[in-house]
Amino acid sequence: MHASHPEPPNSPLTVKISRELEGIVPIFLGNRKKDVRTLREALVTQDFKTVQTLGHRMKGDGGGFGFDRITEIGAAMERAAKLEDCSTIEQHIVQLEDFLTRLTVVYS
């Protein structure tokens, strides 16, 4: 288990993103918010394949959009799904939801 990040709860996170991605980043982030709901449903039914697939996708896509934290969470979620570790998956869902809630994107 990893120690939680030192940021106080609800503190804003600002990520600078290339203006070239301005048209697609809101869609990407909206899809991640949908993923939180899907992941929670999958966890309830212990659908580890769905969790693994979504984690893998986030691991692959996050960094390409400039969101390294989404990549980290996705990779950890994928590992936890392979181990069928429900409590760790739940922690990562909470981390993802927290990141998305506190995130402010600045285009430059």
Tens-digit pLDDT profile for residues 56-78: 999 999 999 999 999 999 999 99
Per-residue pLDDT for 22 more than 90?
A: yes
Mean pLDDT of all residues belonging to the chain: 93
- So what's the pLDDT on residue 10? 72
Q: Which domain holds residue 73?
A: 32-107
Q: Is residue 11 part of a domain?
A: no
Angle at 67 between CA 24 and CA 8, to 5 degrees: 125
- So what's the pLDDT on residue 8? 60
Q: pTM of the predicted model, to two decimals?
A: 0.89
- So what's the pLDDT on residue 1? 42
Looking at the DSSP bridge assignments, the partners of residue 13 are 103
- So what's the pLDDT on residue 4? 46
Q: Is residue 13 part of a domain?
A: no
> Number of structural domains, the chain?
1
Query: 3-class DSSP state for residue 14?
Result: strand
What is the gyration radius of the CA atoms in the chain, in angstroms?
A: 14
Q: Is residue 67 part of a domain?
A: yes
Q: Is residue 56 part of a domain?
A: yes
Q: Is residue 81 part of a domain?
A: yes
